[in-house]
Amino acid sequence: MQRLVITGMGAICALGNDAPSVWQAMTEGRTGIAPISRVDPERVRAAGVVAEVKGFDPGQHFDEAKLSQLDLATQYALVAAKEAIAQAGLSFEGERASRTAVVIGSGVAGEVTRDTQYHRIYAEKAPRVHPLGIIRMMMNAPASQISMAHGITGPAFVVASACASSNHAFAQAAMMIRSGLVDAAVVGGTEACLNLGTLLAWEAMRVLAPDTCRPFSKGRRGIVLGEGSAMFVLETLEQAQARGATILAELVGAGMSSDAGDIAAPSELGAAAAIENALRDGNMSPSEVDYVSAHGTGTLANDSTETAALHRVFGEHARALAISSTKPMHGHALGASGALELVAVIGALRNGIVPPTLAYLEADPACDLDYVPHHARNMPVHAAISNSFAFGGLNAVVALRRMP
């Protein structure tokens, strides 16, 4: 079986507008959660705090003609992909263009455009909307625009499985490379969902925290929405070594499962199955794992269920795991969450630093493991998993190892 490695990484979110800035903020335990500025806070009482991208000027990245085609989610994807491809040093001339895929995860790509269009139709009574509205809001736009920007002519598509989208994208990319269909993939996730319609929809579910996100902590009150993108270059070890590329980490396994149960309530069995499948796919024993980048949304049900799933899979070794959720820093970016959290996993593997779980108050009896509260931890990390569990009972987990 082909060994798969990550050779490029790019990111933009509330913690910074490039991957090094995002990783530094994670290690310093800085939060990007703040009062909302993009919409009238009086309209979103329970969604008053979010994790917005700051200091992003689209005009610095795109000319006016191109910008007219791009929803904010696609803008973020293009910026992160450009950074990842530049770090990887990968070019797409000749056969390599057709032997590279683009696989992007997103839960609700195009929401800013969709919200704007509906406002014009229903609030402003406009007889027409933007002629490029479909081009901007279609789910495949991020993958299509990345392929066009870099001349990638291999398979390109978007995976939409709510909050598991990015990890499902990694699983799809890995399977295509292993099968021999392609040799490399630009893969990751993107989301821009901090518009009025989406915020009100989440507010109506009564799962938003009014102050901040407190995963695994007693007193946690729900999620805080975020936005952004993280992209990676995934390729065969053979190709990376032949190019002399710097290898950031090895992707050894991906596991997926479906709860086939409740549309919103998480399942311990479903989560555990995805973790077990990832370990099995990576030929990795539970005792090898040092770090778990948790889904850790900050809701009562998710965090206790994820803890139970970790106990089920890891047994006694669960108490030796360092577990953290970075969502109190970059928010819950829905379909982009798994990709942003992979920045934490790769950083932990390369630097021996586990990012903290911020805003932790006190232990919850239902969440009784080591969640690395408050401060980053220096420790060797040889192997790690990253969990993503979505509404609809869709679970996806990726397993990575440090390269020597």
Distances (CA, A) of 371 to 296, 324, 325, 346, 355: 10, 5, 8, 18, 10
Query: What is the average per-residue pLDDT within 134-140?
Result: 97
- Return the pLDDT at 404: 86
Read off the pLDDT of residues 244-276 as tens digits, 9 standing for 90 and up: 999 999 999 999 999 999 999 999 999 999 999
- pLDDT, tens digit, for every residue of 311-356? 999 999 999 999 999 999 999 999 999 999 999 999 999 999 999 9
Q: What is the CA radius of gyration of the chain?
A: 20
Percent above pLDDT 70 for the chain = 100
Average pLDDT across the chain, whole number? 97
> Looking at residue 45, what is its pLDDT?
81
Q: Each residue of 145-182: pLDDT tens digit?
A: 999 999 999 999 999 999 999 999 999 999 999 999 99
Residues 6 or more apart whose Cβ sits within 8 Å of residue 115: 195, 196, 197, 198
Regarding beta strands 100-105 and 156-159, do their DSSP bridges make them parallel or antiparallel, or are they unpaired? parallel
For the entire predicted model, the pTM comes to 0.98
- Residue pLDDT, tens place only, 202-245: 999 999 999 999 999 999 999 999 999 999 999 999 999 999 99
Greater model confidence, 271 or 44: 271
10-22 mean pLDDT? 98
Q: Is the pLDDT of residue 67 over 80?
A: yes
> To the nearest whole percent, how much of the chain has pLDDT over 90?
97
Distances (CA, A) of 143 to 112, 174, 191, 367: 17, 16, 13, 38
Q: Minimum mean pLDDT among 22-26, 77-81, 129-133, 328-332: which range?
A: 129-133
The answer to whether residue 42 scores a pLDDT higher than 90 is no
Q: Could you tell me the pLDDT band of residue 47, with boundaries at 50, 70 and 90? A: confident
**Which structural domains are found in the chain, ordered by start?**
4-243 (3.40.47.10), 254-401 (3.40.47.10)
Q: Annotated catalytic sites, by residue?
A: 163, 295, 332
Task: Tell me what pLDDT residue 239 has.
Answer: 97
Q: Which of 41-50, 110-119, 193-202, 391-400 holds the top average pLDDT?
A: 391-400
pLDDT at 1: 77
